[in-house]
Amino acid sequence: MPFAAGKDILEVRIRHADILRRVKAVASQISKDFKGERVHLIGVLKGACFFLADLAREINLECSLDFIAVASYGKTKESSGQVRMLKDLDQNIAGLNVILVEDILDTGLTASYLLRIMKQRRPKTLKMAALLDKPSRRLRPVKGDYIGFTIPNEFVVGYGLDYAERYRNLKDVCILQLPAS
Ligand code: IMP
Ligand code: MG
């Protein structure tokens, strides 16, 4: 059983072994699509860190990494609807095969903001990878190029995803139920 704080209830939705199997498949698709080329993975902090670490190690190509941080949910489960840059990239991405790596595509606000900014910097190609996709929540027409799992409208934590900064370290992706207040 995953560790739950206080009266929170966690229910396993995607087991670690299934995550790793799927990450391998996504990495092999990327390796095929960019055969003979270099890819530049940009992880969106902090949620994508575990996904990016596992994905990068399964990609059989020349590969470089960078990170970007944006403000999203804060302490609640709902998006503020506004996206703010907290940490920009270290490197120039002009001419690179960029893959933006996100933990989850939810409303699509974060991804559409980041894709717009990245595009202005003239990468050679620009793709989007996300471990999870909740298409039913979309407010912007964003489509991931590499998706791990499509899930229904449930709030999930673990394998990088948090609730108020907690639960990122769970190995499985779990559904989080908060105690009724
Ligand atoms: P979007 O801008 O609404 O697509 O949200 C993207 C960000 O919201 C993600 O990178 C997550 O940090 C957060 N998020 C969305 N859904 C969930 C969830 O179910 N659990 C944890 N974080 C989530
Ligand atoms: Mg978050």
Query: CA torsion sign, 8 to 9 to 15 to 19?
Result: negative
Nearest CA to ligand 1 atom 15: 106
- Would you say 141 and 94 are in contact if contact means Cβ atoms under 8 Å apart? no
Catalytic machinery residues: 106
Q: Which residues of the chain have pLDDT under 50?
A: none
Confidence (pLDDT) at 81: 66
Among 77, 84, 106, the mutation site with the greatest number of ligand 1 atoms within 8 A of its Cβ is 106
Confidence (pLDDT) at 78: 64
Confidence (pLDDT) at 7: 87
Helix and strand tally (H, E) in the chain? 3, 9
Atom of ligand 1 nearest to the CA of 44: 10
Nearest CA to ligand 1 atom 13: 73
Confidence (pLDDT) at 2: 76
Nearest CA to ligand 1 atom 9: 104
Find the residues whose C-beta lies inside 6 A of ligand 1. 47, 72-73, 79, 102-111, 155-157, 161
Confidence (pLDDT) at 124: 98
- In whole angstroms, how far apart are CA 170 and each of 15, 60, 62, 125? 10, 27, 30, 33
Confidence (pLDDT) at 6: 84
Q: Which residues are close to ligand 2, an ion, with C-beta < 5 A?
A: 162
Beta bridge partners of residue 135, listed in sequence order: none
Which ligand approaches the C-alpha of residue 165 most closely? 2
* The pairing of beta strand 146-150 with beta strand 125-133: parallel
DSSP state of 162: -
